[in-house]
Amino acid sequence: MNFKDTLAEKKPKIVQLWIESVMASYSADGASFFMKQKDRFANPLGFAAKSGLTAVFDQLTGDRTTQEMPPELMQFIKLRSVQNFLPSAAVGFIYQLKTIMMAQLGEAILLEAGSEWFAFEAKIDALSLKLFDLYMEDRELLAQVKVNEYRRKNHVLAEGRCPSSMAVNNQEEKIELKVIRDC
């Protein structure tokens, strides 16, 4: 059996293991729930992981025809970008695929596959850089969201320097204290 066929055959198992290993980066109790609950609205995190990782795998094996980033993957990275992970952990899950594949396919097949396997690995490496770009894009977006919110004057609620309190007293430094004592 050649590399491609073996890969096709083992795909469900590999993807499953990969999803599990990524899910293990959430605490155990959450992870089990995220694995089980199938409803995409009751379990958006689990849904994003599953669809995102499956899409990546299809991309790598060439089962997806387009070269564009799968939207499911982009959504998943977006999620990782706000989940308190270190940047390395947020995108590092892609490398876990390598180890899982090595274990699943076995030495013999990989040696036989030779250049095909190296090409596959190279794809993973290239993708990992793209994931990092995506991650940064999302962080930038988040920063933009903060700026936008600021522009919408949301901060006025708790800045202690709302325009009208300025009007009361123009001695900038003393504004806050003065306003408070005046009340």
Residues in region 65-104 near other proteins by CB under 8 A:
75, 78-79, 82-86, 88-89, 92-93, 95-96, 98-100, 102-103
Determine if 62 is a binding residue for other proteins (CB under 8 A).
no
Judged by CB under 8 A, the residue of 65, 66, 67, 163 near other proteins is 163
Which residue type occupies 110? L
C-alpha torsion sign, points 11, 14, 20, 25? negative
CB-wise, 34 or 59, nearer to other proteins? 34
Q: Residue 92 Cβ, how far from other proteins at the closest point, in Å?
A: 5
Per-residue burial over 147-177, b = 16 or more CB atoms within 10 Å of its CB, e = otherwise: eeeeeeeeeeeeeeeeeebeeeeeeeeebee
CA neighbor of 179 nearest in space, from 140, 122, 132, 166: 166
Determine if 152 is a binding residue for other proteins (CB under 8 A).
yes
CB-wise, 172 or 182, nearer to other proteins? 182
CA neighbor of 25 nearest in space, from 83, 75, 82, 73: 83
Determine if 32 is a binding residue for other proteins (CB under 8 A).
yes
Determine if 61 is a binding residue for other proteins (CB under 8 A).
no
- Residues in contact with other proteins, shown as a per-residue x/- string from 11 to 30 under the rule CB under 8 A: -------------xxxxxxx
Determine if 175 is a binding residue for other proteins (CB under 8 A).
no
- How far apart (Å, rounded) are the C-alpha atoms in residues 125 and 95? 8
Determine if 174 is a binding residue for other proteins (CB under 8 A).
no
Residues in Cβ contact with 13 at an 8 Å cutoff, skipping those fewer than 6 apart? 104
Determine if 39 is a binding residue for other proteins (CB under 8 A).
yes
What element of type H or E holds 20?
helix 3-23
CB-wise, 61 or 176, nearer to other proteins? 176
Judged by CB under 8 A, the residue of 11, 16, 44, 169 near other proteins is 44
